[in-house]
Amino acid sequence: MGLAAAYHALQAGHDVTVFEADRVAGGMAAHFDFDGLSIERFYHFVCKADQPTFDLMRELGIADRMVWRGTSMGYFIDGKHYRWGDPLALLAFPRLGLISKIRYGLHMFLSTKRTDWSALENVNAKEWFRKWGGRRAYDVLWKRLFDLKFFEFADNISAAWIWTRIKRVGTSRASMLQEELGYIDGGSQTLVDALVEAIAERGGTLKLGARVSEVTSRQGRVTGVIADDAAQAFDAVISTVPTPFVSKLVPGLSAEAKARYDAIRNIGVVCVLLKLAKPVTGHFWLNVNDTTIDIPGIVEFSNLRKLPNTIVYVPYYMPQTHPKFGRGSEAFVTEAFGYLRKLNPALQPGDLLASHVGRLNHAQPVCEPGFLSKIPKVQTEIRGLQIADTCFYYPEDRGISESVRYGKLMAQAIADPGVWRAEGR
């Protein structure tokens, strides 16, 4: 979001400096060297609805780097694998009665056709699923996914938020029976690199390892930032850091405004990445509902992006207060590989070729029913200061496409704050 904002602000003729705390650019979308392979710390797939990503890639001259691939989804329930993700798979699914399946299928189908989410804004996701598909369908298909991602927040998630996720993935298809997902050739780093290059070409400055400790203001107007103990003056500041950092970062905000940022909760993620000698499944995504496996699913990334080895992400989302969150990396790798061996008993200890554990304290905003009213205005009460992160484009889920769209809007709003009125934010 920050890089996109910088790029568009330069296009609009502003002088721009980007301060990035990390040693590399790209935030959640950045790559690292995984045993000789450049790959995302956190998996990234693209859906057909991600128009802002395609628009930006075209502008940057890398539209030809999008790759689409027929993918499939599976479900592992109580020790057995099931095909999932299309009407025939649902009909063949033995764990629900015919009526449940029809109700569930209708719910999913109509969700992909829905455009107005206002009626879902104050609805609880659990109640929404139960109302449409029934209790059993919720318990078999969704309960554990919510419980093992959101833990104590699981029963209080917005139906509007989960609906956008169903719609985004559900409409990324080549046909009714074939899911089709995308990836950027070379990974999301291709987009990050193109943005960094475009920023440099237009005279922007990107400072890496430059943590902003304060956004300064005087008499209700932004004056600049403090980074590395040095104050630097700017006429406008755009902050795209996670919301939980904001109240400390901007002392000039009123107590009421700070309380609004502090009220938005995020869960963290410990994302285990494994390189294997054998595939685990034929699917890109496998949902898991098995009492002996304490994860809601795995992402077998090499079933999307063609790679020389099997690459699997095992994301452990959880509140930062969860006792597991502080565990050492070794414990996560051992457990995750153990789970994969349950999913595919043909995997042997020698099949684990390399591993990595990526951690984020603020990986996913928790959007409860009525979340829209909790989101602060992007244009803050401090003139010249805009603040957004991935929860601001709710009900859309955190993702590259919406983040780059918001980056563009923030750049436009430097000269025209009316942009946010039009957006309703």
Which residues are at the interface with ligand FAD (CB under 6 A)? 1-2, 19-22, 27-29, 42-45, 211-212, 240-242, 245, 269, 271, 315, 360, 363, 389-390, 398-401, 403
Minimum CB separation of residue 40 from ligand FAD in Å reads: 8
How many whole angstroms separate alpha carbon 372 and alpha carbon 159?
Answer: 12
Q: How far is the CB of 195 from ligand FAD (least distance, A)?
A: 11
For 246-263, b/e burial (b = at least 16 CB within 10 A) is bbebbebbeeebbebbee
Cα separation, 120 vs 163, in Å, equals: 8
Per the listing, tokens 């705390």 go with 21
d(CA 214, CA 229): 9
Integer Cα distance of 232 and 216 in angstroms: 9
Q: 107, 90 in Cβ contact below 8 A?
A: no
Is the CB of 276 or the CB of 304 nearer to ligand FAD? 304
Our CB check for ligand FAD shows the closer of 1 and 288 to be: 1
Least CB distance to ligand FAD at residue 147 (A) = 18
CB of 27 to ligand FAD, least distance (A): 2
CB 267, CB 317: distance < 8 Å: yes
Q: Which residue is nearest to ligand FAD (CB)?
A: 27
Distance between CA 283 and CA 299 in Å, rounded? 8
Smallest gap, in angstroms, from Cβ of residue 160 to ligand FAD? 18
**Minimum CB distance to ligand FAD, residue 402 (Å):** 7
| For ligand FAD, the closer CB: 111 or 390 | 390
**Cα 98 from Cα 104, distance rounded (Å):** 10
Residue whose CB is less far from ligand FAD, 28 or 414? 28
Instruction: Return all residues near 68 (Cβ < 8 A) that are at least 6 apart.
Output: 174, 180, 181, 182
Q: With respect to ligand FAD, which residue has the nearer C-beta, 7 or 104? A: 7
Q: For ligand FAD, give the closer residue by CB, 18 or 96.
A: 18
SS3 336: helix
Q: How far is the CB of 43 from ligand FAD (least distance, A)?
A: 5
**210 or 347: CB nearest ligand FAD:** 210
Instruction: Please identify, using beta-carbon distances, which residue of 169 and 419 lies nearer to ligand FAD.
Output: 169
CA distances from 405 to 8, 79, 235, 399 (A): 10, 42, 22, 10
Smallest CA-to-CA distance from 365 within 271, 244, 270, 245 is with 244
Alpha-carbon gap, residue 398 to 366, rounded angstroms = 11
Handedness of CA 230, 235, 241, 245 (dihedral sign): positive
Q: From its phi and psi, is residue 39 left (phi > 0), alpha (psi between -120 and 50) or beta?
A: beta
CB of 221 to ligand FAD, least distance (A): 21
The answer to whether 393 touches 405, Cβ cutoff 8 Å, is yes
Residue 25: CB minimum distance to ligand FAD, A: 7
Smaller CB separation from ligand FAD, 100 or 223 = 223
